[in-house]
Structure 1
Amino acid sequence: MKKLLMLLMLTTVLVACNGNNESKSADQDEDTKQKIKFVLDWTPNTNHTGIYVAQKKGYFNDEGLDVEIMMPGEVGADQLVASGKADFGVGAQESITEARVQGVPIVSIAAVIQHNTSGFASPKEKDITSPKDFAGKTYGGWGAPVEKAVLTSLMNQENASADDVDIVNMGNTDFFTAVKRDIDFAWIYYGWTGVEAELRGEELNMLYLTDYSKKLDYYTPVLTTNEQTIEENPETVKKFLAAVSKGYRFAIDNPDEAAAILIDAVPDLDVELVQASQEWLSPKYQDDADRWGEQKLEVWENYANWMYDNNLLDTRLDSEKAFTNEFLPK
């Protein structure tokens, strides 16, 4: 009996010791992972699904990365990435072009979506079916110079003038409230606001920018980092994109499950909208590119030249330094 008691006690001690060792080992594994800060450009939406999939599915973990997803706050994602306060972030070709011309060392490392899915939207009853119909109407924007330039570019093609458009800043007012109360049309991304209109049963007239100019088919959004990270930690960039690429490829092939992952991570989101948006957007992540994330020099040069010609840039962009495909998985 004594022998049996001693055996049981010894077994208990060994199991406890082994458990402690496993716990310490797990803690050590967590400690050895490289901590990464990733900042969104806006509230979480289906543009970001691949990031949340990479986190949920353990793709970051597989690359030895511990990724914290951050909100941009008042400073903005580009500034946080450029200053090194975030390692990676979400941006757009337009803002990166402006930043680099001003000497800000931010770089696009992957295109989230291959083609520009934005355009000017209005309720069908407003009868805005072409850019010339903007004349005499009220446009609700966010106060950026590029808005007047785009309106001018599109309206000039139809011998109309953007000077005949009443441009107001709609601030944080959502599109559906604004068009019922203050404005006639606004610049939206169809993959979110357009899909929401479908779910609401509200018919829109949608004028996509890409239907009027190839130069306006720019990358929005993109993933970004800064020049210092690329120079000093190229392997980190490569590991990050390896995980993120898997995340977006999963969302391309499995939109329903990818939507569920985003909803689980951000429970405040509208479930029906996320599901419908993901179904609409998933085929557009890679679209006609050879691989997800691929960027073309022609796209960067076209848009930068358009911005320069429309007095949105003081000098021309060195497009080759503004983006890279170097770290995308082959």
Structure 2
Amino acid sequence: MKRMCLTFLLILTLAVPAMGKEITLILDWFPNVDHIPLYVAQQKGYFDEEGLGVKIIPPSESADALKLAAAGRAELGISYEPQALVAASEGIPLLVVGRLIGHPLSTVLYIEGRGIEKPQDLNGKPMGYTVAGMEDVLAKAFCELNEVTDYDLVHVEFAIVPSLVSGRVDSVMGGFRNYEVVELELKGYKPGYFALEEHGFPDYDELVVVANPTFAKKNPEAIRSIRKALSRATEYTLKNPKEALAVYLKAVPESDEKLEKLAFEKTLPFYAESQILDAERWRTFADFAHKVGLIERPVDVEPLLWKD
């Protein structure tokens, strides 16, 4: 579902696959409800109607989607706006061609009833973070923006819920407002969180579709078809949530149905409203990312975004 390593070992001389009817799409994480429009497009035949056979593959690690797309080893991948900007800042060839989740799911997560009601209450309390080089940078930015001056950062990796429940940390930067919130609720806790876009961060796309730029430029009709099918599937998901969830659960039968249903309810407001890649919105977040040290060099977002 989330968060990838920031050190990329890429073999950029590998050949870009020739265009054909079959498209490989690598997920950012294991299949989850964030990906429901992809499964709707696949299972309801929207990709087929566009003349494309799209194979959806989970990665072996969360960095694989962006790495494989950048290296030309997969046609498409699912990644995150912050990671795409990091890659662009490091000179990694990439093109963002679509959107899946249009607003941040990442939050500063905590458990209510433990003395935290506003960001300033984080003073004097250990704060966990997930991905080193990403979430620790964003944690520091959050603290600077919200008058939190006394804190210790603890790398909890992905043990978010256990670290909160045990009291090892009092909050975690990188907890998602759909999954970890539901996990806490199912354990009998009342979660609280500070939404990043409400506490000084620019709004951004949580999940995006990335492609090798050479492939995309050689096969623009395939990219347009993917975007059209994804837009259609997202519209179906929003209008028919019960049916869309059923499509996903049938396609991914190993899913925890109770968890996924609750997480889906929390995810619905965050699916991308359209496939429009707003350059000004991206530019605002890219400037913020450079200011807080998430990226070392400024990024010109224009070459990074698909233009139709």
Once the two structures are TM-superposed, the CA of residue 325 in structure 1 deviates from its matched residue by 4.8
2:157 corresponds to 1:171:
yes
Deviations 1:75-126 (A, max 9, x none): 5210011111111111111011010111111111122122223211111132
Once the two structures are TM-superposed, the CA of residue 259 in structure 1 deviates from its matched residue by 0.9
User: Which residue does 1:77 correspond to in 2?
Assistant: 65
Matched-pair identity in %: 28
Whether the aligned pair in 2 keeps the contact of 1:54 and 1:247 (CA below 8 Å) is yes
Whether the aligned pair in 1 keeps the contact of 2:145 and 2:200 (CA below 8 Å) is no
With normalisation by structure 2, the TM-score equals 0.86
2:92 corresponds to 1:104:
yes
Deviations 1:158-214 (A, max 9, x none): 4332xx3222222342x3222122322112121222234344442112100011125
Q: 1:146-185 maps to which residues of 2 (within 5 A)?
A: 146-161=134-149, 164-173=150-159, 175-181=160-166, 182-185=168-171
Q: Distance in 2 between matches of 1:278 and 1:260?
A: 11
Whether the aligned pair in 1 keeps the contact of 2:124 and 2:151 (CA below 8 Å) is yes
> Between Structure 1 and Structure 2, how many residues are aligned?
287
2:63 corresponds to 1:63:
no
Whether the aligned pair in 2 keeps the contact of 1:38 and 1:68 (CA below 8 Å) is yes
Whether the aligned pair in 2 keeps the contact of 1:113 and 1:293 (CA below 8 Å) is no
Once the two structures are TM-superposed, the CA of residue 274 in structure 1 deviates from its matched residue by 1.7
User: Which residue does 2:229 correspond to in 1?
Assistant: 243
Once the two structures are TM-superposed, the CA of residue 142 in structure 1 deviates from its matched residue by 2.4
With normalisation by structure 1, the TM-score equals 0.81
User: Which residue does 1:312 correspond to in 2?
Assistant: 294
Whether the aligned pair in 2 keeps the contact of 1:110 and 1:325 (CA below 8 Å) is no
Give ranges in structure 2 of 5+ residues lacking alignment: 1-19
Q: Distance in 1 between matches of 2:32 and 2:242?
A: 14
Whether the aligned pair in 2 keeps the contact of 1:114 and 1:293 (CA below 8 Å) is no
Whether the aligned pair in 1 keeps the contact of 2:40 and 2:247 (CA below 8 Å) is yes
User: Which residue does 1:25 correspond to in 2?
Assistant: none
User: Which residue does 2:245 correspond to in 1?
Assistant: 259
User: Which residue does 2:192 correspond to in 1?
Assistant: 205
Once the two structures are TM-superposed, the CA of residue 255 in structure 1 deviates from its matched residue by 0.9
Kindly provide the amino acid, as one letter, of the partner of residue 160 in structure 1.
Answer: V
Residues 144 and 325 (structure 1 numbering): CA distance in 2 closer, same or farther, change over 3 Å? farther
2:234 corresponds to 1:228:
no
Whether the aligned pair in 2 keeps the contact of 1:118 and 1:190 (CA below 8 Å) is yes
Q: CA RMSD in A?
A: 2.0
2:110 corresponds to 1:122:
yes
Kindly provide the amino acid, as one letter, of the partner of residue 80 in structure 1.
Answer: L
2:22 corresponds to 1:40:
no
Whether the aligned pair in 2 keeps the contact of 1:36 and 1:66 (CA below 8 Å) is yes
Give ranges in structure 1 of 5+ residues lacking alignment: 1-32
User: Which residue does 2:259 correspond to in 1?
Assistant: 273
Whether the aligned pair in 2 keeps the contact of 1:111 and 1:221 (CA below 8 Å) is yes
Deviations 1:192-250 (A, max 9, x none): 222343444421121000111252x1111111112111211111111122222222111
SS of equivalent to 2:134: helix
SS of equivalent to 1:112: strand
Aligned with residue 295 of structure 1, among 277, 284, 294? 277
SS of equivalent to 2:281: helix
Kindly provide the amino acid, as one letter, of the partner of residue 226 in structure 1.
Answer: N
SS of equivalent to 1:293: coil
Deviations 1:8-45 (A, max 9, x none): xxxxxxxxxxxxxxxxxxxxxxxxx7111100001111
Please identify the structure whose Cα radius of gyration is greater: 1
- The structure with the largest helix share of the pair is 1
User: Which residue does 1:141 correspond to in 2?
Assistant: 129
Q: Distance in 1 between matches of 2:303 and 2:193?
A: 34
